[in-house]
């Protein structure tokens, strides 16, 4: 059994600018994003946390440091955001206007379609993120960890673990720096306890 606080990073300059797809771009947190992470700290400061992990991107790493009050944040490439290909830096409205068929293909079957036409498939994302959490399950048995990731990977992973078809992953909504809490049992089955708490 493993208990996990799963966060999405705080608001970034891309989130604030029409919710531009930020993917692998190392976009900075806004002042609001920093305040959101500070709010999580106030809620978690009494909890026993055994380890803290984040994506290597600064928006996730800084959120993890602030939200846990820890400088001992371990980064892992497997929980970096989705490679959004040609959608990077654009709003959904902008890239759909440029190339609606790529978005339609992604929405129809994100498991096999490449995000942005040249980015990652949903299956590739699930493979790396699931490998990360399986390792955490072995490494931190009966412990509590904090993981700070991103909107795309967090939603795809949760949809997958909850038995949803990946094309429905957008039905799982995760707010910036909101607390999601779940447990993985010894077989890796996920029980979602809190979403956007």
DSSP, collapsed to helix, strand or coil, labels residue 165 as coil
CB contact at 8 A, 113 and 156: no
User: One of 9, 61, 140, 150 is an active-site residue; which one?
Assistant: 9
Give catalytic status of residue 127 as yes or no: no
In this structure, what is the dihedral angle of CA atoms 15, 19, 20, 22, given to the nearest 10 degrees? 40
CB contact at 8 A, 11 and 174: no
What is the CB neighbour count within 10 angstroms for residue 1? 12
Q: Cα 72 to the chain's mean position, in Å?
A: 20
Inter-CA distances, 109 with 12, 30, 78, 123, 162, Å: 28, 33, 22, 10, 17
Give catalytic status of residue 81 as yes or no: yes
Q: In what order do the strands lie in the sheet with 179-184?
A: 73-75, 51-54, 144-149, 2-8, 179-184, 190-194
Rg (the chain; Cα; Å): 16
How many angstroms separate the CA atoms of 34 and 51, rounded?
21
User: One of 11, 61, 81, 150 is an active-site residue; which one?
Assistant: 81
Active-site residues, by number, are: 9, 81
């Amino acid at each position: 059994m493993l208990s996990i606080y799963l966060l999405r990073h705080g608001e970034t300059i891309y989130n604030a600018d029409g919710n531009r797809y930020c993917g692998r771009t190392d976009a900075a947190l806004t002042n609001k994003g920093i305040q959101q992470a500070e709010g999580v700290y106030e809620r978690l400061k009494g909890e026993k946390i055994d380890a803290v992990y984040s994506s290597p991107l600064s928006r996730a790493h800084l959120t993890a440091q602030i939200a846990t009050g820890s400088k001992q944040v371990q980064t892992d490439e497997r929980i970096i955001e989705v490679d959004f290909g040609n959608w990077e830096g654009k709003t959904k409205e902008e890239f759909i206007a440029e190339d609606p068929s790529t978005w339609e293909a992604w929405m129809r079957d994100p498991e096999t379609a490449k995000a942005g036409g040249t980015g990652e498939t949903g299956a590739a994302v699930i493979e790396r993120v699931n490998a990360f959490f399986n390792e955490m399950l072995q490494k931190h048995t009966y412990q509590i960890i904090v993981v700070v990731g991103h909107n795309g990977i967090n939603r795809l992973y949760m949809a997958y673990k909850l038995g949803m078809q990946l094309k429905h992953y957008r039905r799982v909504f995760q707010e910036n720096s909101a607390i999601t809490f779940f447990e993985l049992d010894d077989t890796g089955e996920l029980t979602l306890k809190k979403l956007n708490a």
